[in-house]
Amino acid sequence: MDALLAADSAMDSVKHFVNVLCEPHWFLIISVVALIVFLLGYRWFTKPVVAGAIAALGTLAFIVSCQDPNFVKIVQKADNVPIVIMIVVVSYVLWLAFRQAAINDKRLEEGKPLLEAGADDKVLVWPDLVYIELIALVICTAALIVWAIMLPAPLEQPADPNVAPNPAKAPWYFLGLQEMLVYFDPWLAGVVFPGLIIVGLIAIPYIDKNPRGNGYYTFKERPFAISTFLFGFVILWVVLIVFGTFLRGPNWNFFGPFEFWDHNRPAALLNREPRDMFWIEFLQRPIPGNYILRELPGILLLGGYFLGGPIILLVFFRRMYRQMGFLRYSVMSFLLLTMLLMPIKMVLRWTLNLHYIVGITEWFLNV
């Protein structure tokens, strides 16, 4: 009996520890560190034995976690099942690409031909492609039918414009955008940044003209391009969807995966403004009435970030600057810094409750 109790309390402390690790700033930092460690040791991590062991451990942790009622409730929600599948699929596809990249990089070092050398990228429509399509069609249809029967679509009461569900969540593929809206002014997070994502993607062929890696898997030849892409995709998209799906609970507060979704859990999140910190706490003077002067500390911070950032980045990117020239380097560093601004602002909000770095509400300019 005592042993059981001891095991229970040990389990509780483990769950509590996981809940603490899932606090947003720890979760984000751990994700970034995990990505960096994976990229540094991709040859070791993608070995079938290692990757298989990680997958087995993850599955075991998932099964053990499913003993917890709060965890099961979140994971089994019909809306959230696709996200569980998405985590598995993204991990698998990452492994698949990096496994081939690891093999190719090794072969390049040994002077052997690449995996893809001499490969045909053409197959015959009939019978190869048509058969594959037919099989895929049958499997997808069957899977969707089984899924629809096992997990019926969640239907709720008729919509009432004066009542919002708590928490009110966007469809899963927009949860990353919804998470961005928590940290920036709506027109920035909802219009400018998504637009910038699309413009940035369009700009890639003009910024990155390096032909290496075309038609074959490699990481060693394109470490910067692939790392940047993975940061944008895994951290700024997949992790944000995981935040929105599993960690955002009632009143849009963060909840750990083993935590009960308590609608009345108190949360003190008093916003702080850089203007208050600078004028009142630092200079001990009243805040100036002119909004430019009022927001000067934030404007200087942000201006320094976007003007000084590219110069500081030159320490690492000197060779790249010589290859790219001024204009392309400026565009590249602007897009890169904008991308980095996202997690910086998020961590500032979580740790310091920083409201807006620049908050000119008069112009709807709140960054």
Partner 1 sequence: MASKELVTKVWIEEGCIVCDACETAAPTVFEVQEETCVIRPAALQEDFNKPLTQEIFDAAEECPVDVIKFDTVTEEVPDDQVDPAPAAAGEEPQTRPKAEQKPAEVASKKADAPASTAGESDPAIAALLKAATSRGGTAGIRRKEQEIPAGVEAVRRKDPRELPPDARQAKILEAARKAKKDPDANRRSMLSGAALTVGWCAFGTGLGVSVGPAMARFLMPNVLEEPDPRVRVGKLQQYAEMTHGDVNEDFKPQGIWMIRDGNRLAALNIICTHLGCIPNWLVNDRKFKCPCHGSGYKPDGINFEGPTPRPLERFRVFVDAGIVIVDKSKKYQYELGQWDQPGSYLEV
**Part in contact with partner 1 (CB under 8 A); list of ranges 13-21, 93-101, 141-149, 178-186:** 178-186
Question: Binding partner 1 by CB under 8 A: which of 36, 119, 283, 314?
Answer: 119
Closest approach, Cβ 269 to partner 1, in A, equals 5
Closest approach, Cβ 97 to partner 1, in A, equals 17
User: Within 236-265, which residues bind partner 1 (CB under 8 A)?
Assistant: 250-253, 264
By CB under 8 A, tell whether 216 contacts partner 1.
yes
Closest approach, Cβ 214 to partner 1, in A, equals 6
With beta carbons less than 8 A apart as the criterion, state whether 353 and 270 touch: yes
Output the CA–CA distances (angstroms, integers) from residue 34 to 82, 226, 230, in the order listed: 23, 15, 12
With beta carbons less than 8 A apart as the criterion, state whether 250 and 263 touch: yes
Q: How many residues bind partner 1 (CB under 8 A)?
A: 45
Question: Binding partner 1 by CB under 8 A: which of 163, 292, 311, 315?
Answer: 163
By CB under 8 A, tell whether 323 contacts partner 1.
no
By CB under 8 A, tell whether 333 contacts partner 1.
no
Output the CA–CA distances (angstroms, integers) from residue 118 to 52, 122, 312, 335, 338, in the order listed: 30, 12, 43, 37, 41
Round to whole Å and give the CA distance between 66 and 122. 45
With beta carbons less than 8 A apart as the criterion, state whether 95 and 46 touch: yes
With beta carbons less than 8 A apart as the criterion, state whether 148 and 232 touch: no
Please identify, using beta-carbon distances, which residue of 181 and 287 lies nearer to partner 1.
Answer: 181
Round to whole Å and give the CA distance between 360 and 295. 7
Residues that bind partner 1 (CB under 8 A): 114, 116-122, 161-168, 178, 181-186, 190, 211, 214-216, 250-253, 264, 266-267, 269-271, 355-356, 359, 361-362, 364, 366
